[in-house]
Structure 1
Amino acid sequence: MTDTAFLVDDDLRARLGLWQRELSAVRRLAPNTLEAYGRDVAQFLAFLAEHTGGPVTRDTLKGMRAADIRAFMARRRAENAGSRSLARSLSGLKSFFGYLEREGIVTTEALNAIRTPRQARSLPKALTVAEARAAVAGTAELEDRPWVAARDMAVLSLCYGAGLRIAEALSLSRADLEGEVMRVTGKGGKTRLVPLIAPVRQAIEAYLRLCPFSIGPRETLFRGVRGGALSPRLIQLRVAQLRGAFGLPPTASPHALRHSFATHLLGRGGDLRAIQELLGHASLSTTQIYTAVDTERLLESYRTAHPRAEG
Structure 2
Amino acid sequence: MKRVNCIGILLIIASAAAQLNAQSHPFPPAPIFSQLLSNVQLRDNGEFRPLRTYAYFMKGDKGTLKVLKDGSEIAEFKFGIEPSILPKYTLDYFELISGKNDVLGLILKESGKYELAYYANGEKFHSFPFELEISTGGDPYKPKKQMKLNGPWNNYAYLYKTSRESHGKWEFRIFVRSEDGEYQQSKGQVIVTRDKDKKIVAVGSSGFRNEARWRRQELVLEKPGIKNPKGEYYNNTDLLANTDKFEDGSYTAAFNIDGKPYGTYKFSVRSGEIQPQGNQIRESTDPSLFIEGGGMEFFMIKTQ
Q: TM-score, normalised by structure 2?
A: 0.22
Q: Which has the higher contact order (CA 8 A, sep 6+)?
A: 1
Higher helix share: 1
Higher strand share: 2
Q: TM-score, normalised by structure 1?
A: 0.22
